[in-house]
Amino acid sequence: MSTPTPQAETRIHNIGYRDYDGPRLGRAYARRSLFSQSLRGAYGLGRSAKSKVLPMILFAVMCIPALVVVAVAVATKLKDLPLDYTRYAIFTQAVIGLYLASQAPQSVSRDLRFKTVPLYFSRPIERVDYVLAKYGAMAAALFILTASPLLILYIGSLLAKMDFADQTQGFAQGLVSVALLSLLFGGIGLVLAALTPRRGFGVAAVIAALTISYGAVSTLQAIAWSTDSLDAVPWLGLFSPITLIDGVQTAFLGATSSFPAEAGPGAGQGVVYLLVVLALVAGSYAVLMRRYRKVGL
């Protein structure tokens, strides 16, 4: 301390401001980045430890029944899986609903609530990029959630040396079904969540929309069945998301309907089901586009 150190030995350089001359990758890159950030966020990756808990638990809950089924099938040398691929999502619909209710609001309400949206729109990306990235990420997250147990079932069925062609066909049908489900549920979840900047309202709205519609439809179907008006059962199924998916896969994907008396829609009604699903997906996209026209900056 007493003797001054020579200046040459210790010196802090202020490198000052540096320009950026590197590449600017533009809109498509920004959209991809937003997609992957949102998809990772849907499983809590890149977020706090606390926000990883719920999605990871739900993911585990989704997969555990598949593991149990596989274990039983392998141990008892079953000839066929005790559970259809297409039936899995119907059985676990409560878990899917919970996942959607928890993750859709975190994906869109946060940006609305903290007014981060204008920061996106003051950059090269546009409204359509934002909506596509968020919708795509939500649907992809749901697909991972619903397709992973199917993959476990498929691998298990092959380990148990079940018929390869049979299992592959069932697995493919199951994948198409959960892909449709992911698009439909993702759209509905995001629309409801984007209506309010309050996360809690978003969660409640998604849960309410899924359970109330399903409760009402299955009650009415049960009444229709017990009053001998079986014709009405498939038409009633048009009014809730999960029964829509049930109807489509019964009509086109070789699934057994979970409607009362297995009175699923035939091919003709199936077309109506499919059109309604596609209309809801397109409608969700349109509503999201409209919503962000208002909040952009």
Residues that bind another protein (CB under 8 A): 16-20, 22-27, 29-30, 33-34, 37, 46-48, 51, 110-111, 114-116, 118-126, 296-297
Give CA separation, 238 vs 221, 234, 241, 253, in Å: 11, 7, 8, 17
CB of 5 to another protein, least distance (A): 25
Helix, strand, coil in percent for the chain, rounding step 5: 75, 0, 25
Token pair of 171 as six digits: 């697995």
Radius of gyration of the chain (CA): 24
Name which of 19 and 231 has its Cβ closer to another protein: 19
CB of 60 to another protein, least distance (A): 24
CB of 21 to another protein, least distance (A): 8
Name which of 84 and 129 has its Cβ closer to another protein: 129
Residue 17, number of CB atoms within 10 A of its CB:
5
265: Cβ contacts below 8 Å, ≥ 6 apart: 234, 237, 247, 250, 251, 257, 272, 273
Name which of 47 and 198 has its Cβ closer to another protein: 47
Name which of 122 and 168 has its Cβ closer to another protein: 122
Name which of 198 and 230 has its Cβ closer to another protein: 198
Q: What is the largest CA-CA distance in the chain?
A: 103
Q: What does the alpha-carbon distance between residue 292 and residue 111 come to, in Å, rounded to a whole number?
A: 11
DSSP state, residue 13 = -
CB of 181 to another protein, least distance (A): 30
CB of 170 to another protein, least distance (A): 40
Residue 114, number of CB atoms within 10 A of its CB:
10
